[in-house]
Amino acid sequence: MRPISPEVMRAIDANCAYLGLIPLQLMENAGSALAREVKTRAKGKRIIIVAGRGNNAGDAFVAARHLDEFEVTVLLIGRARDIATEEARRNWDILDRMGFDLKEVRDAEDLEVLSRCDLILDAIFGTGVRGTIRGLEGQAIDAINSSGKSVISVDVPSGLGTDKVVESEVTVTFHRPKPGLPGDVQVAGIGIPSAAEFLTGPGDLGLVTLRPPGSHKGQNGRVLVIGGGAYSGAPALAASAALRAGADWVTVATPSNVSKIVAGFSPNLIVKELSGERLTAQDLDVLDELISRHDVVVVGMGLGQDPETRDALIELIPKCNKAVIDADALLPGVPLKGIVTPHEAEFRRICPIKMPPGRVQQETLTNFARDMKLTVLLKGKTDFITDGDTIRGNKTGNAGMTVGGTGDVLAGITGAFYSIAPALQAATAAAFVNGKAGDLAYADKGFNLLATDVIEKIPKSMRL
């Protein structure tokens, strides 16, 4: 069972809520599983729970209810009014109404009771704690470690990754192991369905949209869109979508015959006019300089399939550090890297694996991504996203999005996210946001929606 990072675990929790599985249910399942492990290991009747004020404490509060054959005392580090989550607070209140022995720890003397128990349940901190542990929490960890008692940690030993760590005999962790867990680790299922890991949701968006409060222009993504010539709207749509998805800086490099049309699409776009009416090798020197100043290149929209353009793409794409490749750049013989965003016909065009008629099989998709070292976002009624190792599905979106341009919008969103996040996370979140924006547009316009309507709904679709 592969370890899962704290960030991804939080994303799965958010996706569970999106599916309708409320956090209180998961907490109840976690606490019940924890109590079962305590019952198998307790060598006496006296149990003390040392709890912080987060969800790990809530899991332990639930466990206390399932340990009614034991003498359970709960030591809360701090004040009950500061319990951070609604779920943990509710389970604390239940214990209070049931008459459990509950104590708020105000100083180190309140921890002396640890010497008079048979087992300690450590629920001070969960994942993601860093730095130096001070104050009552640090004193509690020291007291637990010096108690000489058996210790079971909830999800992770409190303080893991800091200067003070609880030395537990066993850690009961939930759903999947967390990285770096020491010693005896027991993994407990808590009812998270496989769909919460397979289907996209708001949790995936949360992985790619965290913006440092002190950031300045350019730190949140610089996207270069290379497209147009045969068509003018496609690169403008992709670039506008990248801006709406949070990129700080978007440049469109486009042939001279459509550059003024693209520039007129929005004053927010920076437009670099190329030499002729199609992308050709003559433009490579200019594009080299632009590529060096951007984090990701989104290429293909509206380019057309002129042989000279294809030859230019063969030289251009290997120069890109990160690339999102779409539409007219998805041609046999044109190199692929980064993220590719084909629909089924385009995928069949670039994939050397023979496929039976009908929808592309997930196995074919993952094998192609693995062999080519790519992330593939296959557009369809259900989008499939894979890096050859993990495969995800996205069900947002609707039949109104068959209108032209929504694929260009998706490419732009993908570029914005890829400029600041790993490829699989970026493509997964982009599929969710594009489809959700389309659903919001459909609610307003029905089957009369346009790609520009989808772009305008991107900000609302990104509100967590």
DSSP 298-311: EE-TT----HHHHH
Q: What is the pLDDT of residue 167?
A: 97
Helix (H) or strand (E) holding 441: helix 423-445
Residue 2 in this model has a pLDDT that exceeds 90: no
Closest CA to 207 of 408, 380, 462, 3: 462
Give the pLDDT confidence of 65-76 residue by residue, as tens digits. 999 999 999 999
pLDDT-based confidence at 127, cuts 50/70/90? Answer: confident
> Could you read off the pLDDT of 22-38 as tens digits, one per residue?
999 999 999 999 999 99
- Nearest to residue 189, comparing CAs of 3, 19, 32? 32
pLDDT(104) > 80: yes
Per-residue model confidence as pLDDT tens digits over 398-431 = 999 999 999 999 999 999 999 999 999 999 999 9
pLDDT 10s digits, 267-305: 999 999 999 999 999 999 999 999 999 999 999 999 999
What average pLDDT does the chain have?
95
Overall pTM surpassing 0.75 (yes/no): yes
* Cα dihedral 292→293→296→297 (10° resolution): -70
Residue whose C-alpha is closest to residue 296's, from 109, 435, 206, 422: 422
Domains and CATH numbers, the chain: 6-198 (3.40.50.10260), 213-461 (3.40.1190.20)
Per-residue confidence at 365, pLDDT binned at 50, 70, 90? Answer: very high
CA distance 13 to 21: 9
**pLDDT tens-digit profile of 156-181?**
999 999 999 999 999 999 999 999 99
Task: State residue 354's pLDDT score.
Answer: 84
What is the average per-residue pLDDT within 303-329? 97
Measure CA of the first residue to CA of the last residue in the chain; give whole Å. 30
